[in-house]
Structure 1
Amino acid sequence: MISVQMWSDAQRLWDFQQMHHEPRPCSVGIGLGSHDLGVANVTVDLYQRGMFPLIVFTGATSRTTHDRMPRGEAEHYREQALEMGVPASAILVEPRARNTGENINFSRALLEDRRIDVSSVLLVSKPYEERRAYATARKLWPAVDIISASTPMTLSEYVDSIKDLRLVLDMLVGAQQRLLIYPDQGFMIRQEVPESVAVAYERLCAEGFTSRLVSAP
């Protein structure tokens, strides 16, 4: 159980991470690997709606996904997409990336190796990482237009789907920390963070939702 204040702070971080981009046709859709198969589902839905002709699923495994996705996040995403009717010819798999920066860089390299022209990317992530994914892609792939997308759902619905409240709040806090420290490290563009979001983040850190924080240099 968490307090009303903790939930309110988590909601504030959740709302800030949403980019509210309207999906539109792009050169390629890139599904960022994670513990959440919902990313694959949304990517497939966008593909089937004609938003892009080609999918790249990117991701190895992490401590969160090692047991549930032993063949790698991108491979499990591919299998999900095939089951949902996407032809194998429309899917590329990038199986090495272990963080968002590698997701972007390795996917870009894969597409360049295949001589696929990319002017725009529909970037699909978890709902609470839309802004982080967008900021990273804008930094590492500035020549393309980036549109962010995720499963359209509330924080409460997402927690119910993951069935692990602490994991979701830890991940929210981790995503917010990266928005604060990664611009100085050259990993993403800087995003203006409202004071109310910064305060909510600090309170959740003080409450111990810190397992996904990284050490600042």
Structure 2
Amino acid sequence: MISQQSWADARRLWDFQQMGHEVRPCSVAIGLGSHDLGVADTTAALYRDGMAPLIVFTGATSRTTRDRMPRGEAEHYRERALELGVPADAILVEPNARNTGENITFSRALLADQGIEVSSVLLVCKPYEERRAHATARKLWPEVEWVCASAPMTFTEYVGSIGDDRLVIDMLVGAQQRLMVYPEEGFMIRQNIPADVAAAYRRLVADGFTSRLVPMATVRGRESL
């Protein structure tokens, strides 16, 4: 059972992750691979709305996606976007990235190889990872303007769409940990963490929502999924 306090704490982390950017047309949309196929749906919808003329889907597999997306996250995203009417020539696939930093650096390299000039990027990700993705992108590719976007869903709606309450809360806790420790390692820009957000994070960790925490020894060596 998940307590009312844990639900309230998870909602606070969710709210903090939301960047609240106003979506506008950008040079390219980059859809960050994950277990959530809804990222592909959102990216396709933004393409159809004229928010970007080109999509890059980026991602290999992880321990949470190797079974459900055996061909790789980016490839499954591409297939989903094609089903939703995005033309094949409007999609590039970056199949090797295994963490958010690689999503950005590998996508940047792919676009450069294709000779595509980029001044702004529509960064599409899971709703509870907007801030983490934005902080990483700003650190690794500061020359462009970043606009974050995700599925327009409430916390309750999102949890229901995934169908695994604990997984969502674990992911929120993992995303929050990275916001707190990765700036020290040079993986993302520094964030101002409100005291109530930090307290909510600590309570959730104490309550056992820890499956997506990265050990500090690993943090010292490289960025982890």
TM-score by structure 2 length? 0.96
Q: Which whole-Å CA distance do the structure 2 matches of 1:105 and 1:81 have between them? A: 23
Q: How does 1:1-217 map to 2 (within 5 A)?
A: 1-216=1-216, 217=220
Deviation, structure 1 residue 70: 0.4
CA RMSD of aligned residues (A): 0.5
Report SS of the residue matched to 1:208: coil
Unaligned runs of 5+ in 1: none
Could you report, residue by residue, the CA deviation over 1:90-125 in whole angstroms, capped at 9, with x for unpaired residues?
Answer: 000000000000000000000001110000000000
Q: Which whole-Å CA distance do the structure 1 matches of 2:207 and 2:81 have between them? A: 38
- 1:173 is matched by which residue type in structure 2? V
Q: Which whole-Å CA distance do the structure 1 matches of 2:84 and 2:201 have between them? A: 37
- Higher mean Cα deviation, 155-164 or 125-134? 155-164
Deviation, structure 1 residue 15: 0.2
Q: Which whole-Å CA distance do the structure 1 matches of 2:49 and 2:158 have between them? A: 23
Report SS of the residue matched to 1:23: coil
Q: Which whole-Å CA distance do the structure 2 matches of 1:101 and 1:30 have between them? A: 13
Report SS of the residue matched to 1:65: coil
Identity fraction in percent: 76
Q: Which whole-Å CA distance do the structure 1 matches of 2:50 and 2:130 have between them? A: 21
- 2:61 is matched by which residue type in structure 1? T
Q: Which whole-Å CA distance do the structure 2 matches of 1:204 and 1:163 have between them? A: 19
Q: Which whole-Å CA distance do the structure 1 matches of 2:87 and 2:201 have between them? A: 42
Aligned length: 217
Runs (4+) of structure 1 exceeding 6 A deviation are: none
Q: Which whole-Å CA distance do the structure 2 matches of 1:155 and 1:84 have between them? A: 25
Deviation, structure 1 residue 156: 1.0
Report SS of the residue matched to 2:147: strand
Deviation, structure 1 residue 154: 1.1
- 1:171 is matched by which residue type in structure 2? M
- 1:51 is matched by which residue type in structure 2? M
Deviation, structure 1 residue 49: 0.4
- 1:103 is matched by which residue type in structure 2? N
Could you report, residue by residue, the CA deviation over 1:59-79 in whole angstroms, capped at 9, with x for unpaired residues?
Answer: 000110011000000000000
Could you report, residue by residue, the CA deviation over 1:144-197 in whole angstroms, capped at 9, with x for unpaired residues?
Answer: 000001001111111111110110000000000000000000000001010000
Deviation, structure 1 residue 215: 1.4
Q: Which whole-Å CA distance do the structure 1 matches of 2:2 and 2:184 have between them? A: 33
Deviation, structure 1 residue 5: 0.5
Report SS of the residue matched to 2:26: coil
Unaligned runs of 5+ in 2: 221-225
